Amino acid sequence: MCGIVGIRDAGGVSFSIYYALYALQHRGQESAGISTFDGTRLFKHKGQGLVAEVFDSAILESLEGNVGIGHVRYPTTGANRPENAQPFNFAFRDHTISIAHNGNLVNSRQLRDEYECRGQIFCSTTDTELIAKVITEEMSNSGCIEDAVHRCMRVLRGSYSVVMMIDGVLYGFRDPLGIKPLCLGRTQKGLIIASESVAVDALGGTFLRDVAPGELICIDGEGMRSMQIARASRRAHCIFEYIYFARADAVLDGALVYDVRLRIGAKLHEEAPVQADSVCPVPDSGTAYAVGYSARSGIPFMESLLKNRYMGRTFIMSTQNERERAVRIKLNPIRKHLENGAVVLVDDSIVRGTTSRRIIGIMREAGAREIHVRIGSPSIVAPCYLGVDMPTREELIAHRRDEEEVRRHITATSLHHVTIDALVESIGIGRENLCMGCLTGTYPVDIPGEVSSPVAVDFLDGTYQTRLEKFGTGKE
């Protein structure tokens, strides 16, 4: 899981990329980086930590040029290595390339082996470097970016939303299934490609549209060109983006995330009504769901857990022990709201069950009599191979446990997860166009040892449909 952005705009882009990355910070807190191009030279700065820790204004001023890309990286267990921070910059022949990626390839081991057998070397363990290899190899053969992206879409299996800069031309493309989000916006004098629309908002820009699955966007001094490189028979948008990852104020593939969560909250009440004194969210991820539940049930919304906003997401802690202590620092119960009361506690998901159990413990200590837990996602029963950093099957609380066993484990008075049907209806995108691998154990791409129902992909060989959209004056 990561956040990516690419901007072309007159008058320098480093500050704009910085603000956009700030807006995407929730998608990754391990490292941040920016590369820019000034017409001849590539500049870059990246480091471990939050956007605000990695950059200051002197650094941003040194990143010259009207085009650039940026990245925030999500901490995946065990791979917290400085050399994995993106974007990556390469020189090949007379070209410079800078690339950043969000997603996860499921055949990277195999592809890497093929390259290594041919004597190629890698300096990181990222999929991004592999994608750059595929691109540069094909560019060397045919000299054509369309062919290079076509090659990517043929050989890469998994999820990939990519922003890339070659000799100052900005590119963005999204895997043919559209697993991870990517959208387009207009800034004052230019264009932006970003993981979520909130990055466009942060710049005071105008959201234009999502990048289509299998589409390649190319932005240069002329304007923007769009090419449909591949077309899949259906899409596989990640449901976890709606449930947890994306910001509630983002619009993803046509759906406002806040509205999706409100609708799920209402469904939670319809599916499992209960008498209670208040509806309390687990902040912040459960808030929109709780608002929806309260509105539909008529039970007052009341915050009874207050979040310390200066603390990062608990999953950043790498050991179980650290994670448990973190919950205590992060959330403080309001005794007066809870004492002797029956509470509907609403959260987005239960993954390992650790946080939920701790939170319920804290609320009981604070005097809550009944705690009815309502969860905005169905039970997560299988791992994600396509970009969400989920634990293995064994660590998933709902693996081999039914809802009643999970309820007992987390010590809730009652427990209900929203049904898959209600989730799909709330998102408003047909079930066939969603990836629900973590809920069903069936994946939209072939994964060795797992059940899959792979999506057929057509390639529009040789003749890419090109559309030119002018921009750049800011006057239209």
Residues that bind ligand 5GP (CB under 6 A): 244, 282, 285, 313, 315, 347-356, 388-389
Q: How many other C-beta atoms are found inside a 10 Å radius of the C-beta of residue 94? A: 6
* Least Å from the CB of residue 240 to Mg ion: 13
Q: Rounded CA gap, 18 and 9, in Å?
A: 14
Between 198 and 290, CB nearer to ligand 5GP: 290
* Least Å from the CB of residue 383 to Mg ion: 19
Return the structure tokens found at 248: 């509630």
Q: Rounded CA gap, 281 and 416, in Å?
A: 15
Between 139 and 368, CB nearer to ligand 5GP: 368
Identify whether 2 is a catalytic site residue: yes
Residue 233 C-beta-side C-alpha neighbours within 13 Å: 8
Return the structure tokens found at 219: 């932005």
Between 189 and 313, CB nearer to ligand 5GP: 313
377 binds Mg ion (CB under 5 A): no
* Least Å from the CB of residue 352 to ligand 5GP: 4
Between 197 and 356, CB nearer to ligand 5GP: 356
Q: How many other C-beta atoms are found inside a 10 Å radius of the C-beta of residue 38? A: 15
From the list ligand 5GP, Mg ion, none, partner contacted by residue 223 (C-beta under 5 to 8 A by kind): none
Residue 421 C-beta-side C-alpha neighbours within 13 Å: 2
From 245, 292, 273, select the one nearest 426 (Cα to Cα).
292
* Least Å from the CB of residue 327 to ligand 5GP: 8
From 368, 378, 393, select the one nearest 436 (Cα to Cα).
378
Amino acid at 100: A
For 164, counting Cβ atoms within 10 Å of its Cβ (0-12 exposed, 13-18 middle, 19+ buried), the class is buried
Reduced to 3 states (helix: H, G, I; strand: E, B; else coil), residue 335 is helix
Q: Rounded CA gap, 262 and 257, in Å?
A: 9
From the list Mg ion, ligand 5GP, none, partner contacted by residue 350 (C-beta under 5 to 8 A by kind): ligand 5GP
Among 285, 354, 356, 379, binds Mg ion (CB under 5 A): 285
From the list Mg ion, ligand 5GP, none, partner contacted by residue 175 (C-beta under 5 to 8 A by kind): none
From the list ligand 5GP, Mg ion, none, partner contacted by residue 363 (C-beta under 5 to 8 A by kind): none
From the list Mg ion, ligand 5GP, none, partner contacted by residue 373 (C-beta under 5 to 8 A by kind): none
Between 137 and 395, CB nearer to ligand 5GP: 395
Between 55 and 74, CB nearer to ligand 5GP: 74
Give me the catalytic one of 2, 218, 238, 280: 2
Q: Are 244 and 378 in contact (CB under 8 A)?
A: no
* Least Å from the CB of residue 244 to Mg ion: 7
* Least Å from the CB of residue 374 to Mg ion: 14
Return the structure tokens found at 90: 């390469």
Binding residues for Mg ion (CB under 5 A):
285
User: Looking at the annotation, which residues are catalytic?
Assistant: 2
